[in-house]
Amino acid sequence: MTDPKFHQVAGPFSLEKLATIAGADLANGDPKALFHDVAPLDMAGPDDVSFLDNKRYADAFTKSKAGACIVDPGMADKAPKGMALLLTKLPYHGYGLVAQAFYPAFIPAPSIHSSAVVNPTAIIDKAVCIESGVVVGKNVHIGKNCHIAANTVIGDGVVVGDNCRIGPSVTLSCAMLGNNVIVHTGVRIGQDGFGFAMSPEGHIKVPQLGRVVIEDDVEIGANTTIDRGTGPDTIIGAGTKIDNLVQIGHNVRIGRNCIIVSHVGISGSTTLGDFVALGGQAGIAGHLTIGDGVQVAAQSGIMRDVAPGLKVGGSPALPFREWMRGVAAIENLGKKKGK
Amino acid sequence: MTDPKFHQVAGPFSLEKLATIAGADLANGDPKALFHDVAPLDMAGPDDVSFLDNKRYADAFTKSKAGACIVDPGMADKAPKGMALLLTKLPYHGYGLVAQAFYPAFIPAPSIHSSAVVNPTAIIDKAVCIESGVVVGKNVHIGKNCHIAANTVIGDGVVVGDNCRIGPSVTLSCAMLGNNVIVHTGVRIGQDGFGFAMSPEGHIKVPQLGRVVIEDDVEIGANTTIDRGTGPDTIIGAGTKIDNLVQIGHNVRIGRNCIIVSHVGISGSTTLGDFVALGGQAGIAGHLTIGDGVQVAAQSGIMRDVAPGLKVGGSPALPFREWMRGVAAIENLGKKKGK
Amino acid sequence: MTDPKFHQVAGPFSLEKLATIAGADLANGDPKALFHDVAPLDMAGPDDVSFLDNKRYADAFTKSKAGACIVDPGMADKAPKGMALLLTKLPYHGYGLVAQAFYPAFIPAPSIHSSAVVNPTAIIDKAVCIESGVVVGKNVHIGKNCHIAANTVIGDGVVVGDNCRIGPSVTLSCAMLGNNVIVHTGVRIGQDGFGFAMSPEGHIKVPQLGRVVIEDDVEIGANTTIDRGTGPDTIIGAGTKIDNLVQIGHNVRIGRNCIIVSHVGISGSTTLGDFVALGGQAGIAGHLTIGDGVQVAAQSGIMRDVAPGLKVGGSPALPFREWMRGVAAIENLGKKKGK
């Protein structure tokens, strides 16, 4: 189904193997039957595994020709006849794992391209691929199974853990990366934060003396920028996923497993708890504390601390229901005036 | 008028030639007279061609010393004595074509720099310039008259049509580009979309198995990011123009001749019709349909489908007049409270 | 206190030397005593210099073990016993200068890496470091004590003044830079502005024939984009500081000592006075005039001219107090409806 120029499929996998991968129970079908690819419900054939996560697509599920489907047990009775079922309460989760098995991350063979400029003091595991035009500074450490794509620049002292994928044309400086970190193309980590002593005679640059610490399993989207701390560090917690074109200011501390959508800006010295979700283009002022599990609507502007578990929206942001009522009130004002 | 260090002028062109280029009627002046440059009304001299598009500048037109002017027929009677007139209903359009003739896009001589790393399986037309530090992956196709500027990285399997200009430090992967495509410096096309199966135990990466398809005559501004599809493709329709620092999510389908201003974010799986115009910093939620000819004000937040031809504004967005009335009502509330 | 892998401390400096550097009066302590580093109030020890700028931290000041502190004269009586005091009305300003002395900008030894591609017509001062993968075009001028980091591309005719630091993977074209300019990684300066003659048959590209002029002491944050003018120049005034991911359109003229926070977008042909401050994610429409000293709240949308000295907020923006009252009114509407 995918374009083989860009994506090479692994497999095939037996149904029982797929059930294990997905963490699912096998409810129907031959455990030894082989499957060759993943596909959406409406395009899948008898050799493909599909999934149903959103009940909006229940109809496509009922009509699907997929040989197997990862699905919630509550939907099993709506399956078309003959479809093998992989039952789990987290079907999309299961699909993600199965799709990873069919399309494993491509790790090129270990090598260092002759045009890479690698400082002799750098300590680089043997199982690392460093492509052309890459710069590796003094005393850099790079762990095993890393892929450093073309034209990326890694500054002096940077540490990259194991199993990291650093895309092309990335810049890393003053940074410590954990394991399994994915940094997409054009990301900038560790440059000076925006720190000036302002005065009517002009603005004095304040040296930025901290680092950026990226914990395990973080993913960072294309052209995103993360400034280093002024003295304390800027910290991105384990498992956090950051989209494209996001700005993270100096001394920001982000907890574990946060989701930060594109064009979000987080101002200096703000702290986020765990499992915080920030919608696209949201902005957070500096020196704030955002609690665990907070959800922020797209384009919101956060100007005060937010307590754990709250959903907020608007600019300046309010609790979600108040914001929605205010929006409705404005809509009414707009309509009334027109009469 | 321009700095010759940066812009080399072509020409001269005769008045009749310029009329043909502009698609204009020659109303005055010697068809054989030669013109040497373009210039704004207030700076143009007798050898220059200027234009009047916005009636706000009618006074500058009347006083201009330009030898020739591209102008709407309705303004002809306000021209200063002796000015040659090139009459067209689309003066700015005509000016664009004339300025292109005086300042044609610079295409360097075909060559491949010795430091470029070109995979031997790549198929590259002879009339292509590939600058230093460029990487060209396996099975890449590059059409004729293309210019690939320094340090750009083109991933395996990418197709670039004819007459494309790819700026410096660009990244292309999993992408198919048509003809006459302009990609400015720092653009990222084809990286993984932001796709995760989220759960309280952490977020599972979902492989992104689609491509990016860029049709003919598209222009993409500096540091913009366009993610590849999850399975379907991300598609940018022919003639669409995208400004700097725009984010386009996975599976987004943009129609023909759209205008997308800087810092716009379009979330995954949203579809835009033809001739849609999105103002700066506007955001569009995922899985929406925006009809042909829709106009979205700057900073708007679109959370529902928008019917063809509508003008909308605000966050969340409303029909333009309702939004403007709501804005006026808030302004009044603010003023009243102050009394 | 800082990680010596990333930041090398200079010094030590005597107390009297530090007073001179900070422009402060020495109120207490031995002028010959030596200090070895800077540190925040709560982490500083007897060898460190700290500062108190924000009265919120008065308590930390009273308890601090810092050997010396830069502080406002009005706070002197609250200092702990034995702390040397450097008294100035601008303590953060003084701290910035002292921190610069301890952590001077790193300027590598002059050299041109063998993989840099430098056109023989370029005029480059001897005291310049050009790293690997850099491209320097025809007739480029680079002044003394400049550092051009790896994989940066400098187009034909570009001028870079003295003491400039250009980060990795930057693109400069059609640009004139003054002295002491800092350009962070991934910045794009001088590409085509977003200029098209639009029509129902499609959009004609209008050649962009101007330049970008960056005056002295400007700093530009990572992945920011500044388009060149259409004919006139785009101008960034002396001492202006620009954060990450900012978009500055063609023909924009920014005055002196402005502060522009991340994700701001300034549309074409708008003019800013001196000491204008734009909060994060603010947007300014085209062809406007923003007076000296104007302050714009984060996420504001400016659609009209703003008179000098005004503070504005909201989208569309209002004078600050009216905006705040409107916000309060909406909040009330939201709460009332809920009853």
pLDDT tens sequence across A218-244: 999 999 999 999 989 999 999 999 999
- Per-domain boundaries in chain B: 13-102, 170-321
Output phi, psi for B324, to 5 deg: -65, -40
pLDDT-derived band at A330 (thresholds 50, 70, 90) equals confident
A185 touches chain C (CB under 8 A): no
Q: Tens digit of pLDDT for each residue in B290-318? A: 999 999 999 999 999 999 999 999 999 99
DSSP helix/strand/coil, C129: strand
Interface of C with A in 56-85 (CB under 8 A): none
Q: Which chains touch C (3 or more CB pairs under 8 A)?
A: A, B
How many angstroms separate the CA atoms of C194 and C208, rounded? 9
pLDDT-derived band at C339 (thresholds 50, 70, 90) equals very low
Helix axes B320-338, A320-337, angle to 10 degrees: 100
pLDDT-derived band at C37 (thresholds 50, 70, 90) equals very high
Per-residue b/e over A110-140, b at no fewer than 16 CB within 10 Å?
bebbebbbbeeebebeeebbbbbbbbbbeeb
pLDDT at residue B16, rounded to an integer? 97
CATH number for the domain formed by residue range(s) B170-321: 2.160.10.10
- Enter the DSSP assignment of C9: -
pLDDT at residue C338, rounded to an integer? 46
- B113 vs C contacts (CB less than 8 Å): 117
Q: What is the percent of chain A where pLDDT is above 70?
A: 99
- pLDDT higher than 90, residue A55: no
Instruction: Look at strands A188-189 and A212-214 and give their pairing.
Output: unpaired
Q: Could you tell me the fold of the domain covering C13-102?
A: 3.40.1390
DSSP helix/strand/coil, B109: coil
Interface of A with C in 272-311 (CB under 8 A): 281, 283, 285, 299, 301
Please state, rounded to an integer, the average pLDDT across all residues of chain A. 95
A244 touches chain C (CB under 8 A): no
Instruction: Look at strands A277-278 and A295-296 and give their pairing.
Output: parallel
Nearest to B185 by CA among B152, B218, B158, B159: B152
pLDDT at residue B1, rounded to an integer? 62
Q: What is the percent of chain C where pLDDT is above 90?
A: 91
Please state, rounded to an integer, the average pLDDT across all residues of chain C. 95
Q: Which residues of chain B have pLDDT under 50?
A: 338-339
B277 CA: distance to closest CA in chain A (Å): 19
Q: Tens digit of pLDDT for each residue in C177-205? A: 999 999 999 999 999 999 999 988 899 99
Q: Could you tell me the fold of the domain covering A111-269?
A: UDP N-Acetylglucosamine Acyltransferase; domain 1 (2.160.10)
Cβ proximity of C95 and C54 under 8 Å = no
Contacts of A277 by beta carbon, 8 Å cutoff, 6+ apart: A258, A259, A260, A294, A295, A296
- Sheet holding A25-26: strands in order across? A25-26, A84-87, A68-71, A48-51, A37-38
Q: Tens digit of pLDDT for each residue in C56-113? A: 899 999 999 999 999 999 999 999 999 999 999 999 999 999 999 999 988 899 999 9
- pLDDT higher than 80, residue C335: no
Average pLDDT over every residue of A134-149: 98
Active site residue A7: no
pLDDT-derived band at C255 (thresholds 50, 70, 90) equals very high
For B334, the closest of C196, C247, C323 (CB atoms) is C323
- pLDDT higher than 60, residue A116: yes
C4 CA: distance to closest CA in chain B (Å): 31
Cβ proximity of B198 and A91 under 8 Å = no
Longest Cα–Cα distance in chain C: 78
- Enter the DSSP assignment of B15: H
